[in-house]
Structure 1
């Protein structure tokens, strides 16, 4: 602790130090609140399978892409960021930003068919998936109300289809969707030759409740629309 005789200078220094500490505390509180509050659509009922899949795709920001190794044909998976639009725009179209230096991209060039899996466990909400209702008693940042990611009420979807480069006319839309959710992508190195890709969904497997997987056709997936207005979710 600093010791000094009472003087105008000491008083001014003490006030300045207190103000700086207050600014730091307020800044930290503001950042914590901003990180906790995320705009999202309300969670749909678990038995609305196509809508639940659309909700999962929109609310998540990454998943696991599974491909076949271009040389051995062995299955290979990897984490990949995705977006179907900004927080207020749920298009259902799965866009990716991929480099030819990535072995997943090399596999896709050889075998375009793939799967992409997303899990509700990465979504930070205060909704209890066993009741599909919001609960203020659930702590923030506790996905799936504390369930294990493998338990059926913690929804997950595996989308099947083929991955293809986005045509030039559609690239501005893909860029807007991805950079809105993943702003750091805009600064990724140009010499890695990143390209926009889209997964064209032919069907999907969804588990959102007890009783086994639900099979959803791609046409039904694209036809579903998230209901309600975007809201702040913890």
Structure 2
């Protein structure tokens, strides 16, 4: 009898411990959840504003260059780059700032051909996924911005502004320049394409993009 009593209590303790662990999981998931955007997206009829809003609320972008890697030279190549258009909680500028280093193939590509396209998606924060909208659906907004990469002059006020913006969003960037010779860049925009609703791509004029108010 004593033997079965010991087995019963051992089994009860095992089940109880598993129950406690299971109950703890939702709290852990909640703490690690990627938060939604701090403000609601604009109407899908405001295409310039949508483009600016996506850029301002993003932390990174997909960047496409023409590869210089010998085995795939001339093919499109994609990468991910941290970016910012202003400091956190500051007014949007719409100017896309980011770092490059010649240790990275993207910088090598752009040193030969400085034309690029970058992509921003509303699902970067899982905004669409959390609303059961597939990231490929037109209602999960995305913007494709094409242009040329320009280096931000180190001695300029713009360089100071862009550095503060990047550090605000990406604290680790403080060490990037010293350790791997990163340098600040921006995009001279040539074309803006927005998909934020059914009916195909919408083209936004560059001047309308910069005029848009997302505050």
The TM-score bracket by the shorter chain reads: 0.7 to 0.9
Per the alignment, residue 217 of structure 1 pairs with 205
Per the alignment, residue 10 of structure 1 pairs with none
- After the TM superposition, which segments of 4 or more aligned residues of structure 1 sit over 4 Å from their partners? 35-39
Q: Does 1:32 find its partner at 2:39?
A: no
Is the 1:39–1:87 Cα contact (8 Å) retained in structure 2? no
Q: Does 1:184 find its partner at 2:164?
A: no
**1:51 paired residue among 49, 52, 55:** 49
The 1-side partners of 2:35 and 2:75 are apart by 41
Q: Which moved more, 1:150-159 or 1:180-189?
A: 180-189
Higher relative contact order (CA 8 A, sep 6+): 1
Summarize the Cα distance change of 1:156–1:166 in structure 2 as closer, same or farther, 3 Å threshold.
same
More helix by share: 2
TM-score, scaled relative to structure 1: 0.72
Per the alignment, residue 114 of structure 2 pairs with 112
Per the alignment, residue 92 of structure 1 pairs with 94
Mark the runs of 5 or more structure 1 residues left unpaired by the alignment.
Answer: 1-24, 130-141, 228-234
Q: How many residues were matched structurally?
A: 183
Per the alignment, residue 135 of structure 2 pairs with 149
Is the 2:49–2:213 Cα contact (8 Å) retained in structure 1? yes
Per the alignment, residue 68 of structure 1 pairs with 66
CA RMSD of aligned residues (A): 2.2
SS in 1 for 2:79: strand
The 1-side partners of 2:192 and 2:46 are apart by 14
TM-score, scaled relative to structure 2: 0.78
Deviation at 1:81, TM superposition (A): 1.0
